[in-house]
Amino acid sequence: MIIVTGGAGCIGSATVWALNTRGRQDILIVDRLGKGEKWKNLVSLQYRDFIQPDDFLRGITSGTFTPAGIEAVVHLGACSSTTETDADYLMSNNYAWSVSLAEWCLKHDIRLVYASSAATYGDGGTGYHDDPESARSLKPLNMYGYSKHAFDLHAINRGWLHKMAGLKFFNVFGPNEYHKGDMRSVVLKAWSALNSGSEYPLFRSHREGYADGEQRRDFVWLKDVTKVILFFLDHPDINGIFNVGSGTASSFNQLLTAVFDAMGKPPSITYIDMPLHLRDRYQYYTCADISRLRSVGYDSPCTPLEEAVREYVQEYLAQGKHLS
């Protein structure tokens, strides 16, 4: 059996979907569904069981949850809000929870693939290199990024990385993110606004060298992300921390233009001032260095931005569909 924590979330449910396409249904989902519509991500998926995170954590720490038959854990469960300000909550939910799970996996020789984040890179001043030694110099800009960075450092300092794989996801977009509120991708936010006849303005630049809307991100298609996750499940001998992105930095102008094109609308982009509370914590450029990922044998091509946006808009958003 494979355990997927955060299995009802965007990347988690997509991972379950990808496993289903292989005929795998022996999956235990660990997640909270809350009062929103995250449960809809599970409707078309096949899995063996579902358990609340608190019950699962008590089970593995008390020894009442048996490790027999557990092949691997894909740990995607976390608070992923980059604007969350409760540092104690983030350290408990994202850091301490991950430490307990990693210790359990190591004790029972269970494969662990866990989610780190590109938010650990901060403003990118030291680059986007995913080798362990570079991690020691990183300075995240928000508490979410720090909670992920803290676990990466813990794994490095404890010598765990030769037995597990950490994946630094960049800006993931794709189906099954409907429930994420303000953390939804720009593609979904822009489509929702344009579909209702409203504008979707981009932020003006407040940094020299960047024109309005030319702030850049590594936008990566959700289905490409699932291919990487399955690669690390297929190769338990490949371990360490790896960037997961497209390897290309695209501007928000390019992204929004791709949304307009996918909707058959002529591009019309306006700009607004960036809120003051974001200006000191805003990343103007991210781009995954995926050379280490390629060096260990991952050779699947990355879907071009325009092609991925077109599929997302036309085959999912316009039809109100989830992965199935």
- Spatial CB neighbours of 324, under 8 Å, sequence gap ≥ 6: 17, 44, 45
Q: Please tell me the predicted confidence (pLDDT) of residue 133.
A: 85
Q: Looking at residues 123-144, what average pLDDT do you find?
A: 91
Is 312 part of the annotated catalytic residue set?
Answer: no
Separation of alpha carbons 171 and 168, rounded Å: 10
Give the separation between CA 107 and CA 30, rounded to whole angstroms: 20
Mean pLDDT value of segment 44-51: 98
- DSSP annotation of 301 reads P
pLDDT, tens digit, for every residue of 208-227?
999 999 999 999 999 999 99
Give the whole-angstrom CA distance, residue 322 versus residue 315: 10
Q: Catalytic: which of 144, 146, 178, 316? A: 144
Domain boundaries, the chain: 2-173+219-247+288-302
User: Rounded to the nearest 5°, which phi and psi values hold at 166?
Assistant: -105, 135
**Whole-number pLDDT of residue 234:** 98
- The CATH class for the domain spanning 2-173+219-247+288-302 reads alpha beta
**8 Å CB contact between 290 and 204:** no
The model's pLDDT over 254-313, given as tens digits with 9 standing for 90+, comes to: 999 999 999 999 999 999 999 998 888 788 999 999 999 999 999 999 999 999 999 999
Catalytic annotation present for 180: yes
**Alpha-carbon Rg for the chain in angstroms:** 19
Of 40, 163, 180, 223, catalytic: 180
